[in-house]
Amino acid sequence: MKTTGFYPCVRVDAAGSGVVSRAGGLLLTDAVRTSGLGAELSRALAPWRKPLVRHDPAKIVCDLAVALALGGDCLADIAVLRGEPAVFGLVASDPTVSRTIDALAGDAERVLKAIGTARAAARARVWALAGQHAPDAGIDADSPIVIDTDATLLTAHSDKQGAAPTFKRGYGFHPLWAFVDHGADGTGEPLAVMLRPGNAGSNTAADHIAVVRDALKQLPSWRPGTRPGRKVLIRADSAGCTHDFLDWVAVSQRMSYSVGFTLPDDFDQVLPRIPKRAWTPAYDAGGKVRDGAWVADVTGLLNLSTWPKGMRVIARKERPHPGAQLRITDIDGHRVTAFATNTARGQLADLELRHRRRARAEDRIRVAKDTGLTNLPLHEFTQNQIWCAIVSLACELTAWMQMLAFTSDNHTGHEARRWEPKRLRLRLFSTAARIAHTGRRIIVHLARDGAWTDLLLTAITRLRQLAVPG
C-alpha cells in the first residue's frame, strides 16, 4: 500500500486481548522480590495491618513506589498498576490507598522508622548480591564510601501544612537529602530525607547531623554504637561548612569530609601572595588536565584555629566560561572557589576533582523530582513525610534494579546502569507484551524483534537468578 504521509495509516479497533502495555515493569517487581523489600516491609508494617483486611499496607506502599518509578506523581496514578493485574497482582482501590496513607501518617514517626528498618535490611541484601559493584566494595580510608548531602526547594501550589516562604521568594518546602554515590559507573541511591518547611535554614547543623545519622543507619557495614571512621566521606556544599556539623563529623564520628568553603572577604589581598609554583593544573571530569584551571593549598594563609584540627583548604581558580558574569571577588579575570577537607593524602587535583563530583547529588535530586518529588500531593505534613519515604523507595528500587540487572558484560548493559528514569521508561518500562495463561502459569511474551527485548529479557533473568527463594 502506498502512503502519502509521514506515518502509516493503520486500522484501529478494541478487539485485542491478553495485552500488557508496561511489561518492563517486571524489572521493578523483580527488584522488590530479589531485594526482599516486600517481605521486610510486610514485617515492619505489620502493626498497622488491621485484622481481616484484604490489602497489606506493605503491598500498597510497594505499589505506590513502583507507580512512581513508572512515572506517576500522585496517589491516583496507582491505577496504572491496577489495570495490569497479570503483572502487578491485586492493587488496592483509590479510597483504600488514601485510607492507608492516612493511617500511616497518623503514627508517622514510628512508621518512618519501620520503613527505614526494612530499607536497611533490603539494602544489605542488594549490596551483598552486587559484590564488587556495590558502593561499599573495597572501601578503605583512601577510597571511602561517599555520602552526599544536599537540599532542594519544592513549590507548593496550595496552602499545605508546613509550607512556608523560601529564600528564593517562593513558597513550599525545603527537604534535606543524603545520597550514597555509586561512582562514575553507576548512579546513586537515597539514604535519608528530612522534609522541612520552606523557611528552614540551608546551613542548619542540627538538620545535617540528623540526616547523616539516619544515612549511616542505612549502611550495611555500620553497627550501632560504633564510629564510621575514615571509611566514610561526607560531601556537602558550603551549607555543610559549619563548626557544629564538622565537629560532629570529624571529631565525634572521625569521618572524612569534603565541604564547600567560603573564602574570607579579604582573600583578594591574600591571593597575590600565593607563588605561581604553588598552583598546579586542575583536572576535568574525566581526570585529564583542564586548560585554564589550577588548584593550590591555601591552608597556611587562613586562620583556621576555630575549625576542627586537620582541616585543609584548597582553592581553585579558573577562567570563567564565555558569557559568565564575573563577581567582585574574582581577581585578574579568574573565578576563585574553595573547599575544605581533612584528607591528608592525595594530589590536590585529585582531591578537588573528588569534591567537584559532589554535583552528582544534584543529579540524584533531579531523578527524585522525576520520580514523584516535584509536587508533594498531600495536605498534611506527616502525609508528605510518608510520601517522601515512598519517593525514596521508588528511587532505590530503580537504582537496585540497575545495579543487579545491568552489568559490564556488554556495552548496552553497562550504559543502562546509568540511565535516568526518562530513558528507562521510554526504552524498557513501557515495553508492550502479550499475556498467555498455561495451566497455573502466566507467561509474558515480549516482542521477538523489539529494539530492547534482549536487554530487558537478560535483566529480568539476572534478577530472578538472584531472587530470594520462595
Q: What is the 3-state secondary structure (H, E, C) of the chain?
A: CCCCCCCCCCCCCCCCCCEECCHHHHHHHHHHHHHCHHHHHHHHCHHHCCCCCCCCHHHHHHHHHHHHHCCCCCHHHHHHHHCCHHHHCCCCCHHHHHHHHHHHHCCHHHHHHHHHHHHHHHHHHHHHHHHHHCCCCCCCCCCCEEEEEEECCEECCCCCCCCEECCCCCEEECCEEEEEECCCCCCEEEEEEECCECCCCCCCHHHHHHHHHHHHHCCCCCCCCCCCHHHEEEEECHHHCCHHHHHHHHHHCCCEEEEECCCCCCHHHHHHHCCHHHCEEEECCCCCEEEEEEEEECHHHCCCCCCCCCCEEEEEEECCCCCCCCCCCCECCEEEEEEEECCCCCCHHHHHHHHHHHHHHHHHHHHHHHHHHCCCCCCCHHHHHHHHHHHHHHHHHHHHHHHHHCCCCCHHHHHHCCCCHHHHHHHHHCCCEEEEEECCEEEEEECCCCCCHHHHHHHHHHHHHHCCCC
Could you tell me which of 205, 202, 211, 154 has the C-alpha nearest to residue 180?
211
Mean pLDDT, residues 155-173 taken together: 93
Long-range contacts of 415-418 (CB under 8 A, 24+ apart): 416/455, 416/459, 417/185, 417/186, 417/187, 418/185, 418/186, 418/187
Residue 384 has what pLDDT?
A: 97
Residue 330 has what pLDDT?
A: 64
Mean pLDDT, residues 6-31 taken together: 86
Q: Looking up cell 553497562, which residue turns up?
A: 414
Q: What single letter denotes the amino acid at residue 321?
A: H
Q: Looking up cell 573495597, which residue turns up?
A: 138
For residues 332 and 136, which has the higher predicted lDDT (pLDDT)? 136
Q: What single letter denotes the amino acid at residue 118?
A: A
Please state, in angstroms and as integers, the Cα–Cα distance from residue 275 to each residue in 266, 272, 298, following that order.
18, 8, 11
Q: Are 348 and 333 in contact (CB under 8 A)?
A: no
For residues 17 and 260, which has the higher predicted lDDT (pLDDT)? 260
Chain-wide mean pLDDT for the chain? Answer: 90
For residues 467 and 470, which has the higher predicted lDDT (pLDDT)? 467
Please state, in angstroms and as integers, the Cα–Cα distance from residue 271 to each residue in 276, 310, 464, following that order.
10, 22, 59
Cα separation of 110 and 105, whole Å?
10
pLDDT of 43 higher than 70: yes
For residues 7 and 331, which has the higher predicted lDDT (pLDDT)? 7
pTM: 0.92
pLDDT of 326 higher than 70: no
Q: Give the range among 23-27, 79-83, 250-254, 442-446 with minimum mean pLDDT.
A: 442-446
Residue 16 has what pLDDT?
A: 77
Mean pLDDT, residues 268-292 taken together: 85
Residue 286 has what pLDDT?
A: 82
Dig out the grid coordinates for 49 from the structure.
495491618
pLDDT tens digits, residue range 360-375? 999 999 999 999 999 8
Half-sphere exposure of 400 (CA within 13 A, CB side): 34
Cα separation of 27 and 416, whole Å?
13
pLDDT tens digits, residue range 47-98? 999 988 889 999 999 999 999 999 999 999 999 999 888 889 999 999 999 9
Band (465; pLDDT cuts 50, 70, 90): very high
Residue 323 has what pLDDT?
A: 67
pLDDT of 470 higher than 60: no
Q: In terms of DSSP bridges, do strands 232-236 and 289-297 run parallel, antiparallel, or are they unpaired?
A: unpaired
Residue 435 has what pLDDT?
A: 87
Q: What single letter denotes the amino acid at residue 381?
A: F
pLDDT of 32 higher than 90: yes
pLDDT of 427 higher than 90: yes
pLDDT of 281 higher than 80: yes
pLDDT of 411 higher than 70: no
Instruction: Find the length of the chain.
Output: 470
For residues 197 and 415, which has the higher predicted lDDT (pLDDT)? 197
Q: Looking up cell 543524603, which residue turns up?
A: 178
Q: How many CB atoms lie within 10 A of CB 394?
A: 27
pLDDT of 163 higher than 70: yes
Residue 327 has what pLDDT?
A: 67
pLDDT of 324 higher than 80: no
Cα separation of 298 and 313, whole Å?
6
Band (3; pLDDT cuts 50, 70, 90): low
pLDDT of 173 higher than 80: yes
Q: Give the range among 175-189, 320-334, 401-415 with minimum mean pLDDT.
A: 320-334
pLDDT of 1 higher than 60: no
